[in-house]
Amino acid sequence: MQEQNKNLDFNNQVFFIGIDVHLKSWNVTIISSEMFIKTISMNPSPKELNKYMTQNYPGGKYYSVYEAGFLQCI
């Protein structure tokens, strides 16, 4: 079991979460307001995603989008 770091504090930092949905998994991309953080694969569960974010980025503000795609500006 992963131990939560009690010193982490992302108070009011904004995180954008893109969720690519598949039957057996989600591909989740996490971006802060300043940079790309990571892409992970996880079980398809809103509760599990919430648990992951609150354990790893406590105090943050989370915004998510379902089936996020690439937008190209011309």
pLDDT in tens, 39-61: 999 999 999 999 999 999 999 99
Answer whether residue 72 is part of any domain: no
For residue 9, give both structure tokens.
């504090």
CB-based contact 6:59 (threshold 8 Å): no
Expressed as residue numbers, the domain containing 35 is 14-66
pTM for the structure as a whole: 0.77
Share of the chain above pLDDT 90, in %: 66
Answer whether residue 6 is part of any domain: no
Answer whether residue 32 is part of any domain: yes
Answer whether residue 71 is part of any domain: no
For residue 36, give both structure tokens.
């790309």
Answer whether residue 59 is part of any domain: yes
Answer whether residue 43 is part of any domain: yes
Answer whether residue 4 is part of any domain: no
- In the chain, the number of structural domains is 1
